[in-house]
A = this chain, B = another copy of it.
Amino acid sequence: MSKRISDGDGVGKEKEAVAEADRISSGPSSNRALPYVAHQVGLPPKQSLFQEFTARVKETFFADQPLRSFKDQSKSKKFRLGVEALFPIFSWARDYNLTKLRGDAIAGLTIASLCIPQDIGYAKLAGLPAENGLYSSFVPPLIYAFMGSSRDIAIGPVAVVSLLLGTMLQAEIELNAKNLVEYRRLAFTATFFAGVTQVTLGFFRLGFLIDFLSHAAIIGFMGGAAITIALQQLKGLFGIKIFTKKTDIVSVLRSVFSSAHHGWNWETILIGVSFLAFLMFTKYIGKIKNKKYFWVPAIAPLISVILSTFFVFITRADKHGVAIVNHIRKGVNPPSANQIYFTGELVGKGFKIGVVAGMIALTEAIAIGRTFAGMKDYQLDGNKEMVALGTMNIVGSMTSCYVATGSFSRSAVNYMAGCQTAASNIVMSFVVLLTLIFITPLFKYTPNAILASIIISAVLGLIDIQAMKLVWKIDKLDFVACMGAFFGVVFVSVEIGLLIAVSISFAKILLQVTRPRTALLGKIPKTKVYRNILQYPEAVQIPGVLIVRVDSAIYFSNSNYVKERILRWVTDEDPELKQKCLPKISYLIVEMSPVIDIDTSGIHALEELYRSLLKRDIQLALANPGTLVIDKIHASKFPDLIGKDKIFLSVADAILTLAPNYEI
């Protein structure tokens, strides 16, 4: 490793060395013409309170400057831009052409063939009749196609939200034939409030709230939910009649094994397992050869449904205990606005369920939208997306749909099938419409086992072992959040898993802010750069000077800790340190570069630090305070206390002023 001076080339370095030697020999007290003068620390231009406030609000809520394109435009242009902002379809439809249509049509047909069997299965997961699943793949995708800005997302019911909704609804209303109407009404109410939540978050630009569910927590949550959903499908796959209502792995497995002797139906198992094997095989096919055959797993579910339905129909296996779908209501979505609870005890419950389901649906949709936007390199306006998703769920709740969102598996197929715009959702939605009008009676003999197989093969893709491994490698605390969510979902319930995920994510932020790291700095030989002596073992500490870097904003939550930690560096009886700084410490330089902000408590802590140091005969100096910090330090008159000349542009500056004799 050839380490060289960082700020000059070879010759420069040598000349510099000569210059340094010159300087050292002349000493700090010499009468040379140009004594060293430290560079001033800049004070940012003073802003009025109003300016400061608006700048902060703008950066928090309007970080993406949504109105930028409206600036300096005529009124009619502004109106057009406004309409296009709300309905991006008017923007992309103008240069829509046949090539794009071809891509969208193929993609739309592919995702339709995938969504129809999934929808029927997911509706069961939510405890709703099969037709509600299909309804949710007709109206919401249409609305989204007009209002959404993602080009790749495929809208419809998804497994995790269906499971979450089902669990939470059944916690409020026991699901049986008598309560079915009430249960559906509560489902529509929850869907309505999920939509309202989403629109509200988007409209008030609070989209950043969903960022609080960390990537790692989502991976764990999704993986856990996938396992829970797959386990639940054992009921359909084995043809078990009496099954637990709980979702945790212990209850489910107990249910499965206690029914082993009398509750399993071999015909059902035969159908289910053989088609599951077929589906898994097509999934494998889809992955080889550069995903050239991605369409194989995409149409496999529909083929399975057709084959198995035909098989059951000719063998009349339903007479031998093979459970079948039996009845799906024919025709388009009936209106359901009058079924939403707006008064009574159930409004509150519907609201609570809606908020949680809406947030989770949002998290999933935005994550998917961002992923594909990143792959095709276009910008996605998170807040606008939320308004689109929310509107589609509000309209959905009035047309017998339940919470729809972006599906990861179908969006991936959509992308690979070459979708160009949101028009693929329109194509899909029309295929679903035709299905609802003409084909639903044909699903009568579809065995439930095949739906179970389709759901299992779909959700297994949500268990992302690779991503979990990566999280483990990068950040152990993230991994704890991931595993907490995973085991919470698997062993307790979906809500508990979610709660664990959110709590650990928050705790991580707070821990960071409460116990910031501090580091001792040393000079990297032959440079003017001061760095952490643990990270750079070659860095050398300056005798008599302790340079401490605080790695965080100094806030009320950590100001005491920071003060005491710094004092501990000073008074530390650590023999190692004592050896290194043999001469008595006479200066403590606090490197403030990472100190982004400071508050009243922080200033207070600095004052206390100064006083404690003074009693030990140690001078305090600050290096490189940032914009916010220098502003607040000046407002507090702290510079008068420690001396205005004790605040430096950089550590190098401070050392040159305070310990001018030192040179490595």
Contact = CB atoms under 8 A, between A and B. Distances in A.
A556 B37 CA distance: 43
Interface in A166-197: none
Given A10-B32, A63-B564, A603-B474, A534 B45 contact: yes
Nearest to A526: B39
B6 A636 contact: no
Contacts of A650: 6, 529
B374 A596 contact: no
Nearest to A374: B608
A19 B23 contact: no
A64 to B, nearest CB: 7
Contacts of A627: 517, 519, 532, 534-535
A612 B374 contact: yes
Interface string A624-658: 10111010100110000000000001101100100
A580 B564 CA distance: 45
Nearest to A638: B474
A617 interface: no
Contact of A16 (B12, B556, B601): B12
A27 B565 CA distance: 48
Contacts of A603: 474
Interface string A286-328: 0000000000000000000000000000000000000000000
A223 to B, nearest CB: 14
A656 B626 contact: no
Output the residue of A7, A43, A573, A603 with the most chain B CB within 10 A. A7
A95 interface: no
Interface residues of A, number: 127
Query: How many copies altogether?
Result: 2
B215 A604 contact: yes
B38 A9 contact: no
B370 A560 contact: yes
Nearest to A7: B528
B474 A599 contact: yes
A561 interface: yes
Interface string A488-524: 0000000000000000010011111111110100001
A8 interface: yes
Interface stretch (A330-338, A433-441, A547-555): A547-555
A22 interface: yes
A475 B600 contact: yes
A18 interface: yes
Contacts of A596: 512, 516-517, 551-552, 594
A381 to B, nearest CB: 10
A582 interface: no
A209 to B, nearest CB: 9
A216 B552 CA distance: 20
Contacts of A632: 474-475
A528 B653 CA distance: 11
B628 A517 contact: yes
B524 A649 contact: yes
Nearest to A71: B573
A40 interface: yes
Interface stretch (A52-60, A143-151, A251-259, A392-400): A52-60
Contacts of A635: 473-474
Interface in A29-47: 32-40, 42-45
A13 B19 CA distance: 8
A509 B511 contact: no
A535 B44 contact: yes
Nearest to A377: B615
A557 interface: yes
Interface in A542-595: 551-553, 555-561, 564-565, 568, 573, 593-595
B653 A535 contact: no
Contacts of A65: 568
Given A7-B7, A10-B33, 9 more contacts: A9-B23, A10-B35, A12-B23, A68-B573, A474-B600, A509-B509, A529-B650, A535-B627, A594-B594
17 contacts: A3-B39, A6-B39, A6-B649, A10-B32, A11-B34, A12-B22, A12-B23, A15-B16, A42-B535, A52-B476, A211-B514, A215-B556, A374-B612, A505-B556, A509-B555, A524-B649, A535-B626
